[in-house]
Amino acid sequence: MSGNFSRSSAPKEMTFADQREWMVRHQLEAWGIADGRVLDAMRRVPRELFVPGEQQEDAYYDGALPIAEGQTISQPYVVATMTEALRLGGREKVLEIGTGSGYQTAVLSLLAAQVFTVERIALLARQAQETLARFGADNVRFRVGDGSLGWPEHAPYDAILVTCAAPAVPQPLVQQLADGGRLIVPVGPRGYQDLVRVRRHGAATTEERLSPVAFVPLIGEHGW
């Protein structure tokens, strides 16, 4: 899960707390992230908690980092961009597709009333659940399965965020949006995609392309 952005990283001689503040000021605010709630959430989530032990000194690197099973934890700017695009007010029910390390999940947990997250890889789901428990997120529910199918039992959702790339917008996710709901999903071929925001208006939907990104593929019936 990554984006086509590479700038400067937080100085490693700083404490993690100071690196996190540096990240917010120099990697997020300086590059256009303006939602105060999103910035506050990014300040509160310790990224070092969600990266493998051997990668912790690089926790505030301005880019994606590898985690288990060939997956990645997204660049902070990409996490903030996708989260800001959801336009969360605090009362929403959110579906996340691709739990991964749980870092994006943690950010969402501070900004929404409920978060439902689906991960295809059982090992990652278990590790993320343990990490999010240490973080203190108590409004997150987990499922192991095909994320391209969503989680219909708890639909509709006010917002859906997909942290892996699909060849086309997965229609089961569109169908699980509430009226007025927003879906953020990377769409395109393997290697590079466009970040797309889908809005539902009754039975109709609109699509808006936001920015170029590069994510790992969404594996499943409505993915790759």
**Among all residues, which ones are annotated catalytic?**
74
CA-nearest of 198, 203, 196, 163 to 182 is 198
CA distances from 145 to 9, 18, 122, 153 (A): 35, 37, 8, 13
Instruction: Tell which phi-psi region holds residue 164, choosing left (phi > 0), alpha (psi between -120 and 50) or beta.
Output: beta
CA distances from 150 to 100, 130, 209 (A): 15, 22, 22
User: Is 142 in contact with 127 (CB distance < 8 Å)?
Assistant: no
What is the chain's alpha carbon radius of gyration, rounded to the nearest angstrom? 16
